[in-house]
Structure 1
Amino acid sequence: MVGVVLVSHSARVAESVAELARGLAAGGPAAPVAAIAPAGGAPDGGLGTSAEAILAAARAVDRGAGVALLADLGSSVLTVKTLLAEDELPPHSRLLDAPFVEGAVAAVVAASAGADLDAVATAAAEAYTYRKV
């Protein structure tokens, strides 16, 4: 099963979005839910991005089918790109181009249904088309 990492400048935002996605993906007590881990905030607990937290989260959710990473903005995106370029993340890790909240929900739902990394990335990206009006 593809694992999902949520990278945010805020630990509370990453944790809350992970909780939301996990809850919405759960189809009942016996339904499998993809491994999801938040990686938010700076090492000192403030706002920011921590490469070490991202690496730890990615390793925690890696089940061999790939790791989908969603980042909120700015330095969180750059940090994930750097970790990918330096080949520090688990094999088959990918930064997804998707809105943070809607993309996270779509990614976790798809991963929980057994989708491969390409399908998880597609589901997350399709969240850009969700209309609210």
Structure 2
Amino acid sequence: MSGEAQVGIVLVSHSGPVAGAVADLARGLAAGGATAPVAAAGGTSAGGLGTSTDLISAAAAEVDRGAGVALLADLGSAVLTVKAMLAEGGELPEGARLVDAPFVEGAVAALVSASAGGDLDTVAAAATDAYGYHKM
């Protein structure tokens, strides 16, 4: 899909290793060809636990391919950080959207959908639908 607009995905976690591992897992499970761009934005700029607007902004710019950026967050303050960034404007690409989805299952579903060429609404719906995955 090079040259075509594509949805990018940013995984926002309180932990850099968690965000990176979920990105790796999603890439691995969505394999079978080229995947949509996905980036991890976990932890603080100093490597500690927390969230960093600088890391989130950089990750969003990295994956922005002109069709929007889906941001999935793990826990409360990560969600609040992304919401604040969206409300303030300027730090995230146009078309960036916080997606209410389970972090791991939603990341996989979002990446599969984006890799298949889904638009932002389709990618967000796929991620959100992951709430319905039952393990029993």
CA-to-partner distance for each residue in 1:58-91, whole Å, 9 max, x for gaps?
0000000000000001111111001101112101
**Mapped partners of 2:20, 2:52: distance in 1:** 15
SS in 2 for 1:66: strand
Q: Point out where structure 2 has 5 or more consecutive residues left out of the alignment.
A: 1-5
Please show how residues 107-122 of structure 1 align to structure 2 within 5 Å.
107-122=110-125
Give the aligned partner of residue 45 of structure 1.
47
Residue in structure 1 matching 2:16, options 6, 11, 22: 11
Shift of 1:34: 0.5
Q: Which AA in structure 1 matches 2:25?
A: L
**Mapped partners of 2:74, 2:53: distance in 1:** 14
Question: Are 1:72 and 2:74 counterparts?
Answer: yes
CA-to-partner distance for each residue in 1:87-125, whole Å, 9 max, x for gaps?
121010000000000000000000000000000000000
Q: Cα RMSD over matched residues?
A: 0.6
> Matched residues, percent identical?
69
Q: Which AA in structure 2 matches 1:14?
A: A
Across the two proteins, how many residue pairs are aligned to each other? 130
Give the aligned partner of residue 3 of structure 2.
none
Deviates more, 1:39-48 or 1:49-58: 39-48
Q: Which AA in structure 2 matches 1:96?
A: V
Q: Return the TM-score normalized by structure 1.
A: 0.96
Please show how residues 118-129 of structure 1 align to structure 2 within 5 Å.
118-129=121-132
Q: Point out where structure 1 has 5 or more consecutive residues left out of the alignment.
A: none
**Mapped partners of 1:69, 1:113: distance in 2:** 18
Question: Are 1:23 and 2:28 counterparts?
Answer: yes
**Mapped partners of 1:106, 1:84: distance in 2:** 23
**Mapped partners of 1:58, 1:9: distance in 2:** 16
